[in-house]
Amino acid sequence: MPKVLLTGGSGFIAAHVLDLLLKRGYEVVTTVRSETKASPIRAKYPGAKLTVAIVPDIGAPDAFNSVIASNPDLDYVQHTASPFHYHWTDARTELLEPAVNGTTSVLRAVAKHAPSVKRVVVTSSFAAILSEADLANPHRTFSEADWNPSSYEDGVTGSAATSYRVSKKFAEKAAWDFVATEKPGFDLATICPPLVFGPVAHHLDSLAAINTSNGRFAELLQGKWKEEIPAAGVFLWVDVRDAALAHVEAMERPEAGGKRFFTTAGYYDNRRILKAVRAAFPELAGQLPAEDVRGAPGADFPAGGSIGFDNSRATNVLGIDWIPLEKSAADTIKSLQGIPA
């Protein structure tokens, strides 16, 4: 039974990765930041070949040394843990450095303590691919060949969104640089999703704790769209189950080694989400906006088109048959019903 380390196991994508790994028969060691996050995972999988370890600060030097040294027989590593929030006062020390250090500390620890590891898969983001100047340019097509041109200093001094995007770029670049420079016994694959929607598989005490991308579904369920449909943001998305599948297929398929994967199902907008939820849940009519409700600027897909995307590598190399938006939206709402506000 191959053994996998999954960092950040209580996260939105990671919870689906964990579920898939266990279903495929892997032994899993997963890390979380506290016992509060560990307990629900242990309770969800009684009797599974699963160990939940506590790594309280992924940005600390050598944060993963202990857990990896305790599991030198690992075959694979899935590194999903990374800060994703806009609640910092200093972007350098609270976001950028933890993202980069968290990635490099995992890779150093694997190289030093787990020589049997064949491949490390790192969760990156479309944020590491995009160019902010081109996000409204319908003549620009993005693929894995692209890198976000923003500098580290842009991440220190820029907006919250820029700082987050820069943290993802430099964390992923640190991983590729490590493999190129240190030439460890493992190879690398990275997964670069845009906005990630889909059903929640991790424990939530309340809808207030929902992941950022899915927050729009919680607000819709709570009646917060009744007066106006909010702006969508970047018009590219992927279902969390496809993002998780990409992680596991990138781990298992030999031809995925050494590659980045832009994992997107294509376009969405918030009005399409509303239409899908209305069709799937007629009983929620009282909580949903009327069909003629106005949209804020950016709520609807631009009449002139949006940025182009090329997801052919993920489709062909990883064999993903992308979940459609209508199914994703319906499954997301279903998973949120019953969670207290």
The whole-angstrom separation of Cα 38 and Cα 51 is: 10
Task: Flag whether pLDDT at 85 surpasses 60.
Answer: no
Collect contacts of 311-315 with beta carbons under 8 A, ≥24 apart: 311/262, 311/263, 311/264, 311/265, 311/266, 313/143, 313/144, 313/259, 313/261, 313/262, 314/246, 314/261, 314/262, 314/263, 314/264
pLDDT value for 83: 57
pLDDT value for 87: 66
Mean residue pLDDT of the chain comes to: 94
Tokens 């994967």 belong to: 261
Q: How far is CA 241 from CA 19, 111, 247, 288, 333, in A?
A: 10, 30, 10, 26, 15
Tens-place pLDDT, residues 37-83? 999 999 999 999 999 999 988 878 888 999 999 999 999 999 998 75
For the chain, how big is the Rg over CA atoms in Å? 20
Six-digit token string for 63: 């944060």
Domains of the chain: 3-200+236-268+308-323 (3.40.50.720)
Say if pTM beats, i.e. exceeds, 0.75: yes
Contact 171, 100 (CB under 8 A): yes
